[in-house]
Homo-oligomer: A and B are copies of this chain.
Amino acid sequence: APAKAPLCAACHGANGMATIPGYPHLAGQNEQYLVSSLKAYRDKQRNGGQAAVMQGQAAGLSDAEIAELAAYFAKM
């Protein structure tokens, strides 16, 4: 698993199924969508709802880490 996967799993579930109702399941999601979403949070283009939380999580991610995490959850 990618080094930072546990950070995601904390809210999105180790199996990619979020137990917190307002957070999305990631398991089996479209990989490209996960990449564009993470970049939109990182670049603060996504606001509203819990976006502020995700902006903080995505802030430090490199493109390579985003690609790795998206592939990891998309394949779940």
Spell out A's residues near B (CB within 8 Å): 18, 21-25, 28-33, 36-37, 39-40, 43, 45-51
A45 cross-chain contacts in B, Cβ below 8 A: 46-49, 51
CB pair A46 B50 closer than 8 Å = no
A36 cross-chain contacts in B, Cβ below 8 A: 22, 48-50
Copy number in the complex reads 2
Q: How far is the CB of A14 from chain B (nearest CB, A)?
A: 16
A50 cross-chain contacts in B, Cβ below 8 A: 36
CB pair A24 B29 closer than 8 Å = yes
CB pair A29 B40 closer than 8 Å = no
Nearest 3 CB-CB pairings of A with B: A40-B48, A45-B48, A36-B49
